[in-house]
Amino acid sequence: MDKMSGMSSIFYHDRKHLSKMDAVFWFSKRFKMSRSVFLSTPWRSSKKDKSGSLDQDFLAEIERKIARNKQILRKHSLSHFKARELSSSIDNLRISMNSAQQKQREALDAQANSIANIPAHVSIEVLGNGTCHIRPCVAIRTPLKTYLFNCPEATWDNIAGISSILLSKETNCLPTRIHGAMNIKHFLECIRPFQDSDYGSAKYPSQVDERDYTLGSYEDAALRVTYLPLSAPLHDTKGMAESLNVAYLIELKEPPRRIDPLKLIAHKVPKGPLIGKLKNGETIELADGRKIQPEDVYSDERPKEERPRALVFECSGEAHIKAIIENSAIQLFTSGTKCIDHVVHLSEQSVIQLPLYAEFVDSLGEKCRHIVVNASCPVVPGVESIYRNHRLLNQISPDLFPPLHPLGWTGLVTQGNELAVNDGIFIKAAPLQRFWMRMGGGEEPIIADLRDTEIPFTEKAKELMEDLREDTEKLRASLSEPCEYPKVSFLGTSSAVPSKYRNVSSYLLQTSPTAAVLIDVGEGTYGQLRVLLGDEGCNELLCNLHAVFVTHAHQDHMNGLYTVIERRKEAMDASGKAYVPLVLVSNRNVLKPLKTYSMCFCDLQSLVEIVDISRHPITPPASPGPPAKRRRLPSPVLSACRNVIEQMPRPLFSEQTWNIQEIKAVQVHHTRMANGFVFGIGGKRVVFSGDTKPCDLLVEEGEDADLLIHEATFEDGHEADALKKKHSTMGQAVEIGRKMKARHVILTHFSARYPKVPELPAYLEKSGNVGVAMDNLSVRFDQLPLVPKLIPIFREVYQEELFEIELRKESRTLKQKEELEKKQKAELKSRENTVAN
């Protein structure tokens, strides 16, 4: 996803899956929505468009006027004449903006659909096959665009990653099209206020165009995608789309033939724009009156063999299989009238094994290539950076960084078929595998090197690692009995958006062998649990998961919630246990997206028991007088610290079963209603700060904590940024731990500008009790003294990364010094002018 500004479309199969994206397509399944998704973004010209620049300025000016009018509107009663005038003005401005945007899109589409943009090579590529981090997801790639079929967050089956991809895109990119079922845009609008980044609250950098299945198809210069509803809803609904699956039939446009230079010479075609017209398929007229057809100058060389048609679909059961068999567009292929070249099967293996499904597959003919992308495919790590970095950490301390699943996997992950499994006529695809629709060349293949090679540690690093091993043995020998719980696993330690090596905020707190809670559930939480614990361990953990505590309503802290709820239900059903609702402790802003999600897609509200820790204002008594004569009552003073134990639902909550005797929600300095949490577990106190500026109340309520897990978004020297964005610097977080008298402190929630490791100042070691978290750090309570001992090793093995941080810091200091000198000179000159006058 390095070139997200080129992303164009996302296609969904069931609102559960997005990427340089021109489109995202969805398919649909249990989520009671459309089960396939397709994402797309318009083509961007490499030439600078002056009119486009003017359009952007015009749109920006309209947005400024709308914002200004809204600000004034807040000062007036809605019944006031001025308010009505402003509302009308805002509506007119929005109409003007929509009109300008529509014209801009039409101009871009016309430019993008030029024959010159028909791609020379096209491939189907498997991004995830559902066996590790990422649920089933494939992309069709061309040199200009990428079309993503399903966009998992690494969790919700088809759509959860969309909001994060939109947030990660470059700021001035073109609209992203979302194809498939309805309501996804409604959900994105609902969670838009909860977007966050290091730069404060953020809007999606790009616009979103929703194209539901009723539009029939999508077409550009490269291909045509036909939407095939597999089961129509019984009535036109504005809410949940009942069991609506959408399949996608992709047909490539025929590539332009190459111009033969010798034929141009033979026909005496001069250099210049006439050749360009011939390339675009236009007939030209020469100066002597002769008309030259494009066929007159095309090369006799025929294009390479290609497989231009593909079907991507997902079926939930026999009803959907019958629907696709009876579809008139598909009957052209089953009858032999046309030939289908690729079928990408995203259906679950139990559905593929149905007799009716086998009949459908046989009817497509022997030449069709059947690609299966589901959980029965080869279990192969798909994210090289995570596994390679964790292998290094595992060698530093196997106790603190257990190996990731699939255990013991080594080798190269390539785009060839070496790792695929042939199962009769089916190819069970591995992550990154590529299938050509139009053979091309010139692209460097993607290779993930996960071979078990020796890591070249420096001599100093080896000495420090040996010291750590000795300390580990001494600690183990000194314990009269192990103290495993509470145990904390760091599932995500990045701020705002994932980095190449870190997921966003999520922490697993295990209080006993049979009890656990999650504190924050950022996107990808479920995927992290799978690779940390394995599928069996993950399902067992979900059955023992009693509650989720969400500190505040930002996407990087709550976007993985929906999958965790759903997968927990599946795990409990599979185990034969009676379902026990998951307790969700959060403020009301977290509940809004959950309610919207349940209305639009799948009812998750019935699977949770909500403990609302919002600070509701006290309703003032009604006044008999007219509104203008009412006295304004003072704002009520509400407690900034809440005893959550008193609100926990009985009998779901039990101190003995959960092994939790104290839960406090402490108001911290971040967004409205942001909280930190204090847990009392078997006589030990664990404090989670959530996102916050330095907070004295947290210090007070968490005093004498055994473990403080505190955010440290910014490095030292960024205090002004931290204050503005309501976060903490590393030094501020350490100082909070000192004031709290915490026995152990682990820093987390680092800005994505530090993808591997944050700055490691010397005072961390001097403190003796401060550690730095990495993803998949899993620390038992009796291992906490080992975490600070990792810092000198990190400083040695991450020398290059720390050197870059230091260079940026020196550059920033130099720039600040120059700006200060410039300001001082300007002030001095101003004073001199004042004296002279």
823: number of Cβ within 10 Å: 10
Residues linked to residue 746 through DSSP beta bridges, in sequence order: 709, 771
Q: Identify whether residues 751 and 814 lie together within a single domain.
A: no
The answer to whether the CB of 513 falls within 8 A of the CB of 532 is: no
Residue 513, preceding peptide bond in cis (omega within 30° of 0): no
- For residues 560 and 256, give the distance between their C-alpha atoms in angstroms, rounded to a whole number: 45
Domain containing 804: what range? 798-837
Q: Which two tokens stand for residue 434?
A: 């590529």
Helix axes 355-363, 318-326, angle to 10 degrees: 20
Per-residue pLDDT, 636: 42
Q: DSSP code of 338?
A: S
Length of the chain: 837
Question: Which residue pairs from 296-303 have beta carbons closer than 8 angstroms and sit at least 24 positions apart in sequence?
Answer: 296/263, 296/267, 297/259, 297/260, 297/263, 297/264, 297/267, 297/269, 298/257, 298/258, 298/259, 298/260, 298/263, 299/257, 299/258, 299/259, 299/260, 299/263, 300/260, 301/258, 303/255, 303/257
Residue 89 backbone dihedrals phi, psi, to 5 degrees: -60, -40
Give the three-state DSSP class for 255.
coil
Q: DSSP code of 214?
A: G
Residue 62: band (very low, low, confident or very high) from pLDDT cuts 50, 70, 90: confident
Overall pTM > 0.85: no
The answer to whether the CB of 309 falls within 8 A of the CB of 339 is: yes
With respect to residue 332, please indicate whether it lies within any of the assigned structural domains: no
Give the three-state DSSP class for 139.
strand
Mean pLDDT: which of 103-117, 153-167, 397-411 is highest? 397-411
Q: Identify whether residues 829 and 745 lie together within a single domain.
A: no
Instruction: Tokens 């509650």: give the residue.
Output: 547
E strand map for 314-458: 342-345, 369-372, 411-413, 421-423, 426-428, 434-438, 448-450
Per-residue pLDDT, 77: 62
More confident residue, 511 or 827: 511
Exposed, middle or buried by CB within 10 Å (0-12, 13-18, 19+), for 74?
Answer: exposed
What CATH number is given to the structural domain containing 753? 3.60.15.10
With respect to residue 83, please indicate whether it lies within any of the assigned structural domains: yes
Per-residue pLDDT, 136: 87
More confident residue, 163 or 374: 374
Tens-digit pLDDT profile for residues 329-384:
999 999 999 999 999 999 999 999 999 999 999 999 999 999 999 989 999 987 88
Is residue 790's pLDDT more than 60? yes
Tens-digit pLDDT profile for residues 687-745:
999 999 999 999 999 999 999 999 999 999 999 999 999 999 999 999 999 999 999 99
Tens-digit pLDDT profile for residues 574-583:
999 999 999 9
More confident residue, 640 or 25: 640
The answer to whether the CB of 704 falls within 8 A of the CB of 741 is: yes
Average pLDDT, stretch 140-147?
88
Residues linked to residue 548 through DSSP beta bridges, in sequence order: 518, 584
Order of strands, sheet of 745-748, starting from the edge strand that comes earlier in the sequence: 641-643, 662-667, 675-681, 684-688, 707-711, 745-748, 770-772
Residue 627: band (very low, low, confident or very high) from pLDDT cuts 50, 70, 90: very low
Q: DSSP code of 270?
A: P
6: number of Cβ within 10 Å: 22
Query: What is the helix (H) or strand (E) element at residue 51, kind and residue range?
Result: helix 50-73
Give the three-state DSSP class for 77.
coil
Average pLDDT, stretch 653-680?
95
Q: Please report the DSSP string for 557-605 in residue order.
A: HHTTHHHHHHHHHHHHHHHTPPP-PEEEEE-HHHHHHHHHHHHHT---G
Average pLDDT, stretch 491-504?
92
Q: Identify whether residues 707 and 650 lie together within a single domain.
A: yes
Q: Identify whether residues 825 and 763 lie together within a single domain.
A: no
Exposed, middle or buried by CB within 10 Å (0-12, 13-18, 19+), for 230?
Answer: buried
Q: Identify whether residues 566 and 713 lie together within a single domain.
A: yes
Is residue 606's pLDDT more than 90? yes
Q: Identify whether residues 732 and 829 lie together within a single domain.
A: no
With respect to residue 541, please indicate whether it lies within any of the assigned structural domains: yes
Classify residue 511 as left (phi > 0), alpha (psi -120 to 50) or beta. alpha
Query: Which stretch of 242-246, 277-281, 325-329, 585-589 has the lowest confidence by average pLDDT?
Result: 242-246
Q: Identify whether residues 678 and 541 lie together within a single domain.
A: yes
- For residues 549 and 674, give the distance between their C-alpha atoms in angstroms, rounded to a whole number: 12
Average pLDDT, stretch 745-760?
95
Q: Identify whether residues 827 and 777 lie together within a single domain.
A: no
Given the DSSP bridges, would you call strands 426-428 and 745-748 parallel, antiparallel or unpaired? unpaired
Is residue 49's pLDDT more than 60? no
Q: Which two tokens stand for residue 449?
A: 């090197």
With respect to residue 462, please indicate whether it lies within any of the assigned structural domains: no
The answer to whether the CB of 165 falls within 8 A of the CB of 151 is: yes
The answer to whether the CB of 316 falls within 8 A of the CB of 30 is: yes
Per-residue pLDDT, 93: 82
Enumerate residues 6+ apart whose C-beta is below 8 A from 304: 438, 439
Q: Identify whether residues 694 and 746 lie together within a single domain.
A: yes
Is residue 14's pLDDT more than 90? no
Residue 3: band (very low, low, confident or very high) from pLDDT cuts 50, 70, 90: very low
Mean pLDDT: which of 101-110, 473-482, 630-639, 680-689 is highest? 680-689
Per-residue pLDDT, 55: 62
With respect to residue 684, please indicate whether it lies within any of the assigned structural domains: yes
The answer to whether the CB of 390 falls within 8 A of the CB of 500 is: no
With respect to residue 442, please indicate whether it lies within any of the assigned structural domains: no
The answer to whether the CB of 675 falls within 8 A of the CB of 699 is: no
Q: Identify whether residues 695 and 819 lie together within a single domain.
A: no
The answer to whether the CB of 532 falls within 8 A of the CB of 522 is: no
With respect to residue 805, please indicate whether it lies within any of the assigned structural domains: yes
Tens-digit pLDDT profile for residues 245-267:
789 999 999 877 788 888 998 99
Residues linked to residue 676 through DSSP beta bridges, in sequence order: 666
With respect to residue 712, please indicate whether it lies within any of the assigned structural domains: yes
Per the structure, the count of domains in the chain is 4
- For residues 604 and 598, give the distance between their C-alpha atoms in angstroms, rounded to a whole number: 6
Q: Identify whether residues 669 and 648 lie together within a single domain.
A: yes
Q: Identify whether residues 504 and 649 lie together within a single domain.
A: yes
